[in-house]
Amino acid sequence: MKCNKQLSLAGIIAFGTIAFVSGSLAADLPAAPIVKAPAPVYPLFSWTGGYIGGSVGSGWGTSQTALAVGNTFIGAPVNQTVNQLIGGTADFTVPLPQVQMNGFLGGVQAGYNFQSGVMVYGVEGDFLWSGVKGRNGCFVVLNCTNDTKWIADITGRVGLTVGDRGLVYIKGGAAWADSSIGINQSFAVTSNLGTGFAANGTADGRATKKIFGGTLGAGVEYAFLPGWSAKVEYDYFDFGRQDVTLPISVASRVQTGDIAPAAIAIGVTTPVSFKQQLHTMRVGVNYHF
């Protein structure tokens, strides 16, 4: 019995010693490291593929118009050209004051890119609805106007990638626009001298033409999300010389004293040439697929 008690006491002492030593060793061990989940890694953006998007911005430019005076036709009751009236063959033009234009524009674009190393090649088409227009005085009392309704282009693009998601590019190609020029004015004259005199009238003419030219541009684009990019772009458009026939109607009403008013109406048709140049600056977003 005494032997069993001694063995039990020895076991308790041995167990306590083992527990103490184990605890001390555990306290001396370093804490287990905290493992954080790795941050998501997006694959490198590839510019290869198609895209579609939209853009908005502003446009500005100039329109220079000239009238071919000698070949201007004056309608009834004259029914002759200026050359026929003067018995000559005058072939001179009268330049009108330049019209400064500006306004808002916006539209859509679509294209396809192919990336080879750091180079990106592509083709793109744009269509822009335009509010670019202007007005200037001409022929002393008349107003000359120009209004561009829309602009479209098809261009090639060449770009250089910058970093993982940036692109700097230039572009150039063919361009079209819907442009109209006009001359208009209204007037009224009255006098109380003598029997009195009153006259009023209007002059109005407008011609519209789908014009063709070229464009050059440059831009910067950045892929801010997988499948999405934003861009800033400048473009220059030159439509060269365009020839149109401008019909102008002149109507007036004249009254002197108690005499019944007389109405006068004359139609004038004049050959016109104009040169139009435009600049645009736009911001846009593209979806890539």
Condensed to tens digits (0 to 9), the pLDDT of residues 234-246 reads: 999 999 999 998 8
For residue range 7-21, what is the model confidence (pLDDT) as tens digits?
Answer: 454 454 444 444 444
Query: Are 101 and 61 spatial neighbours (Cβ–Cβ below 8 Å)?
Result: yes
For 124, list phi and psi in degrees, rounded to 5: -145, 145
Contact 222, 228 (CB under 8 A): no
Is the pLDDT assigned to residue 184 strictly greater than 60?
yes
pLDDT at 129: 98
Question: pLDDT at residue 279 above 70?
Answer: yes
Mean pLDDT of 97-111: 96
Q: Give this prediction's pTM.
A: 0.77
Contacts (Cβ under 8 Å, ≥6 apart) of 147: 132, 133, 179, 180, 182
